A and B are shown apart, each in its own frame.
Chain A
Amino acid sequence: MCDTEVKMENYILEMKNITKTFPGVVALDNVNLSVCPGTIHALVGENGAGKSTLMKILNGVYSATSGEIYLEGTKLELKGVKDAQAAGISIIYQEFNLINTLTVAENIFLGRYNGKKTVKWNVLRDEAKKLIESLGFSFSVDTVVGRLSTAEKQLVEIAKALSLHSKVIVMDEPTSSLTEKDVDMFFPIIEKLKADGITVIYISHKLDEIYRLCDNVTVMRDGRITGNSAVKDITRDEIIELMVGRSLDMEYPARTNKPGEVVLHVEKLCRRNDLHDITFDLRRGEILGIAGLVGAGRTELAEALFGADPAESGDIILNGKKVVIRSTLDGKKNSIGLVTEDRKETGLVLPMNVTQNITITDLDKVTRNLVVRKSEEKVYAEKYVEALKVKTPSINQTMNNLSGGNQQKVALAKWLYYDADILIMDEPTRGIDVGAKFDIYCLMNELTAKGKAIIMISSELPEVLGMSDRVLVMHGGRIKGELTGEAMNAETVMKLAID
């Protein structure tokens, strides 16, 4: 990777034989990562490939089950974030580590204040100003961070990393919520960091950016390293092959049925600043994929259709009839179900049991003479636990004790129990294992064969392409394009998604 004559000790950072297991899952399997000083090193892989886990180990958030980390040849013992910072490693997460109510200057020096007991605001502000200016920008360091744009917050995080005299800065998908214009402004900053001798580990799955920016690339898949190369020596297709690694038809069951007539027509749906003129059709027996970056308005659209955060204008026409959806109850009455993106926070009632989480959508079905019949609930619960292959010791098990994949199946089961005709699935396979994923894909096929219509929102491009009959791409709260057939490929989707 580095020039061949460079010896091993010349790597600035080495992670050797890193293994990390969570109960029941091997997240990282004997991973080796070596980074040359003063380079921009890309780390790519699909969601769930283990990139984030690896970086959390590097940052001291997780401790590795086994393996060693060397920075400039010295072995590191990282007990927490502070240790990593002291050693010269900083991470900029997708969700920023900033306090919205405090100023830019203070956020840069959060929790440190130059090691003294009192704060010298003049010094603090001057230094913050210098850091921001050194990045080539000049905005007031007295602004409250909550008022900044995403790109500006990004800058504050970089300034914070610089103030820590970081040698290695890890950026976790920094452009995922930036506009094209912001990205153009952002790249020179990263190049400047490189020119100043700082090493950057750049996590992304946007190949364009990697070719534009990075020197070396490491590819991960399923908790392993599958490839290592200088960017100039590897083609796009090779990287994709290393990332995906298996043929698509193995991973996704074939779609067999053909979509029928239109069941849902959405016309010019608008809401505040996050949805603009959304117009599309959904057909019986169809899986409609919605692709786009984080913050493109996909979840917002789902919540508008379901009534969780209703649209302000525009029409929703269901089976030829205009309907008004002002609340989640309206959504449900119109036979729309939403499997939310965060099953723990909004999808399930974790302290309650499997049965109660399935029957939550329709207790009328199991109520006789005002009493909720546990015996009838049991019948339904057992039916869906079996149909969805939910692995649980009993239907009376508390949801807390189930694995992510099985929790997700229950979150889905409650809408099957309700028999919703239109199912909106927001990130249906996030954070669950391959087996459970395949089960859910098969189930989606079964449902559409029975005439249900599915809207699938997903950030995993292969999944969207592998499962959908048609794909809508969203950006900035608008639908940027509709893709079918040949046009449904990663490049086109990405082009539309990034704008």
Chain B
Amino acid sequence: MNKIKSIKKEDLQSFLIENFVAILLIIFVIFMIFYRRSFSSWFNITNIINDCSMYGITALAMTVSVICGEVDLSVSSVYAWATCLFCILCDHMSVFPAFLITMLTALVWGTINGLLVSRLRMPAFVATLGSMYFIKGLAYFITKEQPVNTSNEALKAIGEINIGGITIVPLVFIIVLVFLYWFMKYTVAGRAIYSTGGNYEVARLSGINVKFYKMLVFIIVSTGAALSGIMYCTRVYSGAATYGSDLTIWAVAATVIGGTSMSGGAGGVHRTVIGVLLMGILFNALTLLGVDGSMQRFIRGAVMIVVILFDAVLRMQRSNKK
């Protein structure tokens, strides 16, 4: 009897420690609800949902790559690239082919990153750092360094879809979430990504084509980032190479806060939903509190550093226990 009790206590303790950052944020949310009435208004809630689901799509894709043990730094540039290309294309053709072509280019960026990492065994950070600048430069190039606008009617119509304050973006987020959840949980490819991230050598010896899956995750991240970019276009009808500079940090932080460890092989896209919501709520609240842009940047960076440190400390503790 005593024993059972003590085990439960330990479980609770480890639960609290493992979700420390998330719990802090939830406390903050409760504080906000009482402190600012406008925070819990329906208008603001839909605002938060619309806002955070845009970057959230990239966060979901980033989760897949973190599960595989890699982080892609080029998402911010792919996002910017997608806004630029999509807006330019929308002025010359209808929305759907523009969408397809934009996604196709994202596929190319992902493949290049993936090949550098999986075939050449280049550290993902260096490879994606290089492609981050490379793609950003190209985004400047196709926009001639000026923001581009589109006046595509169909796009405007899509952007104006609004059900009780909710736009099309959360809908796309949910579709991506359901798809990636199914993909990671029920397909052999998804499971292979878990195995590759969990232990590369064992996965390889078990006959899993580890190189292919390492490449595949970079394609997933790139297309996710491009989709986020296109979603942004449905709201602002414009593109610029400077968009999305905070996307990488946002997505990694949401992933790790959600509970997917940087060590790879564990976690899940469904967990990232919590991380996405918490990031969305945090920055919405900061805006409501009148915190200015540079302070918000500061907090964004700090949140990221804290969650990474926390993740690392947890990992060290776990290996010590063993």
**Real complex partners, A and B?**
yes
Q: Which residues of A contact B (CB under 8 A)?
A: 61, 80-82, 85, 97-102, 106, 110-113, 116-119, 121, 144, 272
A316 to B195, CA, bound (A): 44
**Closest CB pairs A-B (n = 7):** A101-B265, A111-B206, A99-B198, A101-B266, A101-B198, A82-B207, A111-B208
Q: Which residues of B contact A (CB under 8 A)?
A: 185-189, 191-192, 194-195, 197-199, 202-203, 205-208, 264-266, 320
Pick from A61, A99, A112, A144: contact of B199, CB under 8 Å:
A99
Pick from A111, A113, A272: contact of B203, CB under 8 Å:
A111
Q: Is the CB of A110 within 8 A of B187?
A: no
Closest to B192 in A: A111
Knowing that A111-B206, A117-B189 touch, tell me 19 more A-B residue pairs with CB under 8 angstroms.
A81-B205, A97-B202, A98-B199, A98-B202, A99-B203, A99-B265, A101-B197, A101-B198, A101-B199, A101-B266, A102-B194, A102-B198, A110-B202, A113-B188, A113-B191, A117-B188, A118-B187, A119-B188, A272-B320
Q: Is the CB of A97 within 8 A of B206?
A: yes
Closest to B194 in A: A102
Q: How many A-B residue pairs have CB under 8 A?
A: 64
Q: Which B residues touch A144, using CB under 8 A?
A: 266
A232 to B148, CA, bound (A): 87
A494 to B204, CA, bound (A): 36
Q: Can you list 23 contacts pairing A with B, beta carbon distance less than 8 Å?
A: A80-B207, A81-B205, A82-B207, A85-B207, A97-B206, A99-B194, A99-B199, A100-B265, A101-B199, A101-B264, A101-B266, A102-B265, A106-B191, A111-B192, A111-B203, A111-B208, A118-B186, A119-B185, A119-B186, A119-B188, A121-B185, A121-B186, A272-B320
Closest chain A CB from B314 CB (angstroms): 14
Q: Is the CB of B199 within 8 A of A100?
A: yes
Q: Which A residues touch B189, using CB under 8 A?
A: 117
Closest to B191 in A: A119
Closest chain B CB from A306 CB (angstroms): 18
Closest chain B CB from A95 CB (angstroms): 9
- Contact flag A100-B198 (CB < 8 Å), given A111-B206, A272-B320: yes
Q: Is the CB of A81 within 8 A of B202?
A: no
- Contact flag A116-B198 (CB < 8 Å), given A97-B205, A97-B206, A99-B203: no
Pick from A111, A116, A117: contact of B207, CB under 8 Å:
A111
Q: Is the CB of B195 within 8 A of A111?
A: yes
Closest chain A CB from B265 CB (angstroms): 4
A144 to B197, CA, bound (A): 15
- Contact flag A117-B187 (CB < 8 Å), given A111-B206, A111-B208, A272-B320: yes
Q: Is the CB of A81 within 8 A of B207?
A: yes
A99 to B265, CA, bound (A): 8
Closest to B261 in A: A101
Closest to A97 in B: B202
Q: Which B residues touch A61, using CB under 8 A?
A: 205
A121 to B205, CA, bound (A): 23
A118 to B183, CA, bound (A): 9
A97 to B205, CA, bound (A): 8
Pick from B185, B187, B202, B320: contact of A99, CB under 8 Å:
B202
Closest to A80 in B: B207
Closest chain A CB from B268 CB (angstroms): 11
Pick from A81, A85, A110, A118: contact of B195, CB under 8 Å:
A110
Q: Which B residues touch A97, using CB under 8 A?
A: 202, 205-206
Closest to A144 in B: B266
A30 to B188, CA, bound (A): 42
Point out which of B185, B186, B202, B203 has the most chain A C-beta atoms below 10 A from its C-beta: B202
A110 to B206, CA, bound (A): 7
Closest to A116 in B: B188
Q: Which A residues touch B208, using CB under 8 A?
A: 110-111
Q: Is the CB of B198 within 8 A of A118?
A: no
A102 to B195, CA, bound (A): 8
Closest to B264 in A: A101
Q: Which A residues touch B199, using CB under 8 A?
A: 98-101
Q: Which A residues touch B198, using CB under 8 A?
A: 99-102
Closest chain A CB from B34 CB (angstroms): 39
Q: Which A residues touch B265, using CB under 8 A?
A: 99-102
Q: Which A residues touch B197, using CB under 8 A?
A: 101
Q: Which A residues touch B191, using CB under 8 A?
A: 106, 113, 119
A85 to B266, CA, bound (A): 27
Q: Which A residues touch B185, using CB under 8 A?
A: 119, 121
Point out which of B185, B264, B266 has the most chain A C-beta atoms below 10 A from its C-beta: B266
Closest chain B CB from A57 CB (angstroms): 15
A80 to B189, CA, bound (A): 21
Closest to A113 in B: B188
Q: Which B residues touch A112, using CB under 8 A?
A: 207
Q: Which B residues touch A98, using CB under 8 A?
A: 199, 202
A100 to B194, CA, bound (A): 11
A78 to B266, CA, bound (A): 33
Q: Is the CB of A99 within 8 A of B186?
A: no
Q: Which B residues touch A85, using CB under 8 A?
A: 207
A81 to B204, CA, bound (A): 10
A207 to B199, CA, bound (A): 34
Closest chain B CB from A495 CB (angstroms): 28
A121 to B197, CA, bound (A): 20
